[in-house]
Chains A and B, each alone.
Chain A
Amino acid sequence: MADKSTRRNFLSTVGVGVASAVIFGVGGYFLGSSGSRIIERTVTQAAQTATVTRTQTVTQPTTVITTVTETAAARPTRLVIAWPFEIVTLNPYRFSRNIPVESPMATIYDRFLSQTRDLLQVPGVVESWEWGAEKTSLDLRVRKGIKFHDGTELTAEDVAFSLATMKTPPNAYAGVWGVISDIQVVNPSLVRLTLSRFDPSIIAWMGFLDAFVVPKHVWERVGPDEFGKNPVGSGPYKVKSYRPGILELERFDDYWRGAAAIKEVVFKEVLDPRSRAVEVEAGTSDYTLEVDINDFQRLSSLQGLKGVSQLVTDVAILMIPTYYPETGDENVRLAMHYAIDKEAIINNILRGHARVVHTTEAPGYRAYDPDFKFPYDPAKAAELLSKSGYSKSNPVKITVATFKGSFPRDYEVMQAIVAMWAEVGIEAQLEVITIAQHFEMRNTGKMKHAHFYVWSNATGDPINSVGHSQWPNSPFSTWRGLKAANLTDYSGLMNQATEVINPVFLEKDEEKRIAAARQAARWVVEKGLVIPLYQLAQLHIMKRDVKYDPWPQGWVLPYYMSY
């Protein structure tokens, strides 16, 4: 009996111990997530440990939160990135993607043109370019001395072949390159493009998305499927091994810009944000991004890790279709904008990881207008609403579509906006949709009164912001559905919008085009056709000894990393 009792006691003790460890361990972890004090952390120094917080500003402001323990150690030769996107094929042309997704491709391949942190296109594989008469032809001079990973030289033939492949459907951006009607290799270092019409954005596109150069001889020999598994590029890293979920790269020593600092880089597919946070916390990955704001702040406070919040070229907007009587009313549209306290949203919901924007053009974009501000003015909102017969007791009723979890705190942001609107006489119902649904609704004229959306434009060219988001002829604007479903434009602004935005696409004088774009970006906001909210930040967590300034385009580029 005594023996049984002892055994039972022992088991109870073990059970309670394990349960307590689980509860306190996990609880502590969650409690730790809520700590956001790191932002206010100041410099403290101990005899052997230095804890430093520094803030650094570049063109797109970056906030660096570092907790550093200074120790001497050998420099690692490998960097593992817990990667938030699936890696299924390395064929650079096949699928559409957002900006960060293309980072592994940008590590293996070179683009025709490079882009600076200021979003400017600069020479890359193409060392210079020259417009022809009427700007319907373009000469591309190909840099000499660039080698592919198999040792062969990159030539104009490869550039021409890559462009021809990119413009062949169903490659994702074939529609963009379709403007090229003829590609001619004039000599081993000169390619001449003939365009079916003037397209001012073609230069920007050459440093963007799928504009990568592939070796013609390899592609033709193995075909696109096999190439996607065993690619050959001319980028700073070559593929060491590729299996589902893991892409191992090794430094290409003959890279034309000079060899990278880190010998091996691994992209490891970890799609769940909390698991990515665990990866860097457990030390099995050295770098990750797109973690939850709470995790970002908790991990930034850990010794040996640092967090970098980088503003990127993504702008959150509210798209307002005008095929409803309510949103056809300019007073209502403008009241919706005046009633939103963007600063409060950024400070309280996004914890400072965003920046207010007043047009579709964020700072750094070519058509950014520093002089234009759209103020937060709830009194003005109420006044505009009263002109249309609405008030808090007789609110205008609308439905607003939002995502939940597709972008940082998207749903919470919209909840806050709905509450702000309620204060001035706008009663909004929130409806959660997916991105796929958003596209479908936009294309078919079935949008709600307003849609939350995030518009990316890493080119900085206004064509890809105010242009395609607002131009009535664009397949991406709210006007598309209006026209497709033959709905009534209650604002009566569609033709005027076409006239105002046309020069962004058609003006051949670049200075005039940018000035027109700036004007157009201001006009669409003044007319309430779009409500720009904020510029998003991308949250990066890395080991404290990794030296890297994230790019405002959202790329993660190991070539610029070092220990």
Chain B
Amino acid sequence: MAITSYYLFKRILQMAAALLGTSLVAFLIFRIIPGDPVSLMVGPGVTEEYIAQLKAYFKLDQPLIIQYLYWVADLLSLNLGTSFRYGSSVSSLIFERLPATVELVLFTLMIAVFFGVITGVVAAVRQRVNTVIQALTISGLAIPHFLWAIIFVIFFAAILKMFPASGRVDIGVNIQTVTGFYLIDALITGNIDGFFNALQHITLPAISLAIGMTAFIQRTLRSSMLEVLREDYILTDRMKGHSELYIIFVRSLKNALMPVITLTGVQFTFLLGGSAIVERIFGWPGMGNLLFTAVQYRDYTLVQGILMFYTFITITVNFLVDILYTYINPKVEFK
């Protein structure tokens, strides 16, 4: 057994501690910075009495510790609360927009892993190509994803009109919702036109996000591959007369992938929040716009809910990455 029950128990405790820590930070951070959510909620014509009434309704008139305890009590009953601004439950707002963001992030990861692994392997085994790849990698790392997004939207949407500028599908294209991921939903409902339409929409935002990540993966994998290729067992394989392709893709890559898996896990969680600007540029109706508005209007419960949700996903993904380690390399044990 690569994961012991003691390890599981320890991880669960760590997860609980992380969630508690995040809850404190998420709760305090927007209360420390100036900005009164009630003033942002009401229009002209209201009285001081009504403002006080609203503050009482949202428990904002209570001491911070009491507000926090109320919120934590709700969290423990899996209730993320009600958005100050929209009056809807925070969890329903999150789940409405989450699929769009997750789909974008997963598609981005697919692109980045695919090209990152190929270029990483090639750069490790072909020195002359490596120079070209390194040059491209540096530009990939140097230019931030939102700048790629702006360049792409102007060039490919406005000038060449090759790709749509915004949205998940064209107006009038209906994809029956099953999972909330349009690409998958279109495929499983046999809506091929819908699939290609959704693919066309996701391409530019995903590439904008993937460029930098591809560069990261490429560099990480290259270093890792170079180390693995110097291992004794690879020399033994060569002496046994195995083909170079077998040595690279079967014997080396499997072990060299470990840091890439960690990186991909980290990038997944990073992209969940980090895709906000690209979502905004491409009019992608995901979590980014929701979070942006929540911060702008000091919608405490919505911001806190989103941050807690992200933390939970981060912890879960990290745990899954650990499990994945044990499958890829049975030598890895978590005790």
- The verdict on A440 contacting B34 (CB below 8 Å), with A269-B283, A279-B165, A475-B48 known, is yes
Of all chain B residues, the one with the shortest Cβ separation from A475 is: B48
**Is A174 in contact with chain B by the CB < 8 A criterion?**
yes
**Is A182 in contact with chain B by the CB < 8 A criterion?**
no
Cβ of A89 and Cβ of B292 under 8 Å apart?
Answer: no
Fill in one digit per residue for A64-89: 1 if any B CB lies within 8 Å of its CB, else 0.
Answer: 00000000000000101010001011
Cβ of B155 and Cβ of A275 under 8 Å apart?
Answer: no
Interface segment out of the listed A142-150, A240-248, A314-322, A423-431: A240-248
CB-based closest 5 A-B pairs: A245-B285, A436-B35, A175-B46, A175-B50, A94-B87
**Is A268 in contact with chain B by the CB < 8 A criterion?**
yes
Of all chain A residues, the one with the shortest Cβ separation from B48 is: A475
| Alpha-carbon gap, A443 to B40, bound state (A) | 12
Q: Which residues on the B side are within 8 Å of A274 (C-beta)?
A: 150, 153-154, 281
Interface residues of A in 119-141 (CB under 8 A from B): none
Of all chain B residues, the one with the shortest Cβ separation from A210 is: B43
30 contacts between A and B (CB under 8 A): A25-B159, A26-B159, A29-B155, A29-B158, A80-B171, A94-B85, A96-B42, A96-B43, A169-B50, A169-B57, A170-B87, A175-B47, A209-B43, A241-B174, A244-B97, A244-B286, A269-B283, A269-B285, A271-B280, A271-B283, A272-B281, A274-B154, A278-B153, A282-B164, A284-B170, A436-B37, A436-B40, A439-B36, A440-B36, A474-B44
Cβ of A284 and Cβ of B298 under 8 Å apart?
Answer: no
Cβ of B158 and Cβ of A278 under 8 Å apart?
Answer: yes
Q: How many residues on the B side are at the interface (Cβ–Cβ under 8 A)?
A: 65
Q: Which residues on the A side are within 8 Å of B72 (C-beta)?
A: none
Cβ of A436 and Cβ of B298 under 8 Å apart?
Answer: yes
- The verdict on A96 contacting B280 (CB below 8 Å), with A201-B45, A278-B153 known, is no
- The verdict on A282 contacting B87 (CB below 8 Å), with A272-B280, A443-B39 known, is no
**Is A441 in contact with chain B by the CB < 8 A criterion?**
yes
**Is B290 in contact with chain A by the CB < 8 A criterion?**
yes
Fill in one digit per residue for B49-71: 1 if any A CB lies within 8 Å of its CB, else 0.
Answer: 01101100110000000000000
Cβ of B283 and Cβ of A268 under 8 Å apart?
Answer: yes
A167 to chain B, nearest CB (A): 10
**Is A499 in contact with chain B by the CB < 8 A criterion?**
no
Cβ of B42 and Cβ of A175 under 8 Å apart?
Answer: yes
Cβ of B158 and Cβ of A228 under 8 Å apart?
Answer: no
**Is A173 in contact with chain B by the CB < 8 A criterion?**
yes
**Is A58 in contact with chain B by the CB < 8 A criterion?**
no
| Alpha-carbon gap, A244 to B93, bound state (A) | 9
**Is A270 in contact with chain B by the CB < 8 A criterion?**
yes
| Alpha-carbon gap, A178 to B42, bound state (A) | 13
| Alpha-carbon gap, A519 to B77, bound state (A) | 57
- The verdict on A82 contacting B166 (CB below 8 Å), with A88-B290, A271-B280, A281-B158 known, is yes
- The verdict on A270 contacting B43 (CB below 8 Å), with A225-B89, A436-B298 known, is no
Partner of B289, one of A82, A86, A95, A241: A86
9 further A-B pairs in the complex, CB-CB below 8 A; given A29-B155, A29-B159, A284-B170: A170-B87, A173-B45, A173-B46, A175-B42, A175-B50, A266-B171, A278-B154, A282-B158, A475-B46
- The verdict on A205 contacting B283 (CB below 8 Å), with A88-B290, A170-B58, A443-B39 known, is no
**Is A91 in contact with chain B by the CB < 8 A criterion?**
yes
Q: Which residues on the B side are within 8 Å of A266 (C-beta)?
A: 171
Q: Which residues on the B side are within 8 Å of A275 (C-beta)?
A: 153, 165-166, 280-283
**Is B237 in contact with chain A by the CB < 8 A criterion?**
no
Fill in one digit per residue for A353-374: 1 if any B CB lies within 8 Å of its CB, else 0.
Answer: 0000000000000000000000
